[in-house]
Amino acid sequence: MKLLQRSLVARIVASLLAISAMALISIVVTMAVAGGSRGDAAALNVAGSLRMNTYQIVAALQRYERTPSWEQQAEIRVLMQRFEERLEKPELIAAIPISEAHELRKQYRLVLMRWHNELAPEVAQTLTSQYVRVDQLNRALDGLVNDIDRMVNQLEQNTEAKIRLLSALQILFLGLTAVIVAIALYDIRHNLVAPLRHLMVLAREAARRNFTHRTRLDGSDELAMLGRTFDTMAEELGASYAELEARVKRKTQELERNSQVMQVLHDESRSLYGGGNDLCASAAPMLRQVEKLLEIGPIRLSLNDPHGDRQIPILATHAARRPDYCRDHDCHACLIDNRPIHLRETEGGECLLLPVSVGEVLLGTLEVWYPKEQPLSDSVRRLLNALADQLATAVYLQRRIEEEQQVSLMNERTIIARELHDSLAQSLSYLKMQVARLERMQAKDAPKEMQAAVFDELRTGLNSAYRQLRELLTTFRLKLEGPGLQSALQQTTAEFSERMGAPVELRYDVPPHLLNPNEEIHVLQIARESLSNIHKHAEAHWAAVTVAFLNARIVLRIEDDGIGLAHDDSPPMHYGLIIMRDRAHTLGGELRLTNRAQGGTCVEVIFTPQTARLIARQHAVATPLHEQGN
């Protein structure tokens, strides 16, 4: 019973079992009643034939009385035997109840008595005496027929009683089934349909993110327990959803703040990387914006001394005094707040120390102070790491730029010194030797003709030195006015095109930053010397300068359509060609001077640039190391 109270499924199963039991019992009872009424129709037929048989016997007696014969007598005996057989036929006896107290059994006994005691003796007497006693026979016949009629009526009533019993039982079982179905439907409506409707409403409201609806189901069955569980779940979901909304809101605000910080880092990166070594002007505004957005601070940047073992404070967003190495005392970027770093320390703030480094090179440290009650999240720490990396990149690039500027300055000085030594210094040394020779000749009173020859050589040397000086000045002036070899060659070809009064073409196809400054100077000087020779000696109407990068080598070619060389195999050896050959050897190449098939000359220098040699050397070193590693 407790199970039925606690379980809706058990009640539904019990209702189905009860309905099934009612149907089964109704079928069994119907089959039993139908089985009990199976012989009633045959019994009625037999009882009805008894009445007809009686009339047949009386009619045969009357015929026997008119015309007695053995045939009529035999017919009467056959009819009597048939009546007795029908009276004791199993179909009739089976329809009569066994109980002696039953009216139908009594009526059957009465019919037997009528037949054996009245009608049968009267028929036997008639057959013996051949005289029919009509009055006695009619009385016996009427009594027997009446008794048979009453027996037939009782048989019919008995059959009708069985049918009524069957109908009553069917109505009873139908009523019981209807009651069980009504109880089951009531239980399903109130304990299944209504709770399911409440659960559906709860599910629909939960799908609409409304977790305030409750089923409030009473009882101890499955749906009631499910409803209470759903109520608890809705309450927990409501709390979780509210918490998630709060977290999403906080995360959204944090993401927006982080996006603003990233935007500040991006916007200020240009001024940071292009602001020179003035970090106060480039980095301090960015740090103050980051402080304001992240609600942290102050922030202090210190850099390591590259020549010592100490840290130098560079800037602080809020400080009590300016840094010791501040170079602009009109700047007050660090002094705009009255909450310096040491106050934050005394207030119990926390300090995040971030390395300002590039690779394994530690450039300095970045101190970030923040309230102890507001710890930094992982996203804020990543942003601060990005800020430290950005500052490290800016400081590293600035140092690299300064180093490159110093190296470039030293390279320029080295190139100028080498050019002066290779050209003007050698000419001056030659002139010094000629002056010493002239002094010895004058001391020995040498003839004036010999001294005149020395004077001619001095004059030629001075002219050559002056020309070389002009070429050097022109070369370095071109270098300073337009950076790169291509710009210098464009100015050179334009210059000689104007001096020659003929077009000078330039074909330049070299990747940028392939040649170092020394190689650029040598290529430019060879080109200028070749164009100068064309201007002086070739009588050309067209010239071309080609600089190309083919098969990892630089090809420099200067062509003209002038008179060409007298002998292709043995070009003239003069001072300009000697300097050009020396420059080609310095580049690691060789100068070739030939006549063109179309007329004129062709000066060609092919060499491998220093960058390609370094790459080849690095590859040659890396290959054995790779083989050893394998």
CATH number of the domain at 390, please. Answer: 3.30.450.40
573 pLDDT band, cuts 50/70/90, is low
Q: Do 507 and 370 fall into the same domain?
A: no
pLDDT at 322: 63
Going by their DSSP bridges, the two strands 543-550 and 504-509 should be labelled as parallel
pLDDT at 349: 76
pLDDT at 507: 94
pLDDT at 77: 80
Give 421 or 199, the one with higher predicted confidence: 199
- Specify if 371 maps to a domain: yes
- Specify if 393 maps to a domain: yes
Q: Do 174 and 279 fall into the same domain?
A: no
Residue 385 half-sphere exposure, CB side, CA atoms within 13 Å? 7
Q: Which of 226, 234, 219, 218 is nearest to 196 (CA)?
A: 226
* Most confident stretch, 55-69, 76-90, 546-560: 546-560
Number of domains in the chain: 3
The Cα–Cα gap between 68 and 80 comes to 17
pLDDT in tens, 208-230: 878 788 887 777 777 778 888 88
pLDDT in tens, 585-625: 988 998 999 999 888 999 999 999 887 655 555 555 445 54
Q: At what angle do helices 194-207 and 222-274 cross, to 10 degrees?
A: 0
| C-alpha distances out from residue 153 to 41, 97, 150, 405, Å | 12, 15, 5, 142
Q: Which of 298, 296, 301, 304 is nearest to 315 (CA)?
A: 301
Q: What angle do CA 421, 427, 431 make, to 5 degrees?
A: 135
Q: Do 267 and 180 fall into the same domain?
A: no
Mean pLDDT, residues 303-324 taken together: 72
pLDDT at 341: 46
Mean pLDDT, residues 295-320 taken together: 77
Mean pLDDT, residues 262-278 taken together: 72
Whether the per-residue pLDDT at 498 is higher than 50: the answer is yes
pLDDT at 628: 47
SS3 at position 100? coil
pLDDT at 556: 95
Give 503 or 339, the one with higher predicted confidence: 503
Measured distance between the N- and C-terminal CA atoms of the chain, rounded to whole angstroms: 84
Token couple for 108: 């059957």
Mean pLDDT of the chain: 78
How is the beta sheet containing 299-304 ordered, strand by strand?
Answer: 311-316, 299-304, 361-370, 350-358
- Specify if 474 maps to a domain: no
The Cα–Cα gap between 437 and 417 comes to 28
SS3 at position 205? helix
Structural domain boundaries enclosing 289: 254-406
Q: Do 188 and 57 fall into the same domain?
A: yes
Going by their DSSP bridges, the two strands 590-595 and 553-560 should be labelled as unpaired
Mean pLDDT, residues 12-36 taken together: 82
Token couple for 501: 């009064």
pLDDT at 253: 85
415 pLDDT band, cuts 50/70/90, is low
Residue 66 half-sphere exposure, CB side, CA atoms within 13 Å? 5
Long-range contacts of 344-347 (CB under 8 A, 24+ apart): 344/297, 344/298, 344/369, 345/369
Residue that terminates a domain, selected from 352, 374, 406: 406
Whether the per-residue pLDDT at 321 is higher than 70: the answer is no
pLDDT at 289: 84
CATH of the domain at 524: 3.30.565.10
- Specify if 6 maps to a domain: yes
Q: Do 188 and 279 fall into the same domain?
A: no
Q: Do 392 and 533 fall into the same domain?
A: no
The least confident of 3-12, 25-34, 76-85, 230-239 is: 3-12
Mean pLDDT, residues 470-483 taken together: 59
The Cα–Cα gap between 10 and 4 comes to 6
Q: Which of 356, 351, 379 is nearest to 294 (CA)?
A: 379
Mean pLDDT, residues 254-259 taken together: 85
Q: Do 286 and 355 fall into the same domain?
A: yes
Neighbour tally for 443: CB within 10 Å = 8
* Cβ burial, residue 419 (10 Å; 0-12/13-18/19+): buried
- Specify if 579 maps to a domain: yes
Q: Which of 601, 415, 371 is nearest to 521 (CA)?
A: 415
Q: Do 262 and 188 fall into the same domain?
A: no
Q: Do 287 and 162 fall into the same domain?
A: no
Over pLDDT 70: what percentage of the chain?
A: 78
Give 36 or 225, the one with higher predicted confidence: 225
CATH of the domain at 42: 1.20.120
Q: At what angle do helices 222-274 and 8-36 cross, to 10 degrees?
A: 140
Q: Do 160 and 27 fall into the same domain?
A: yes
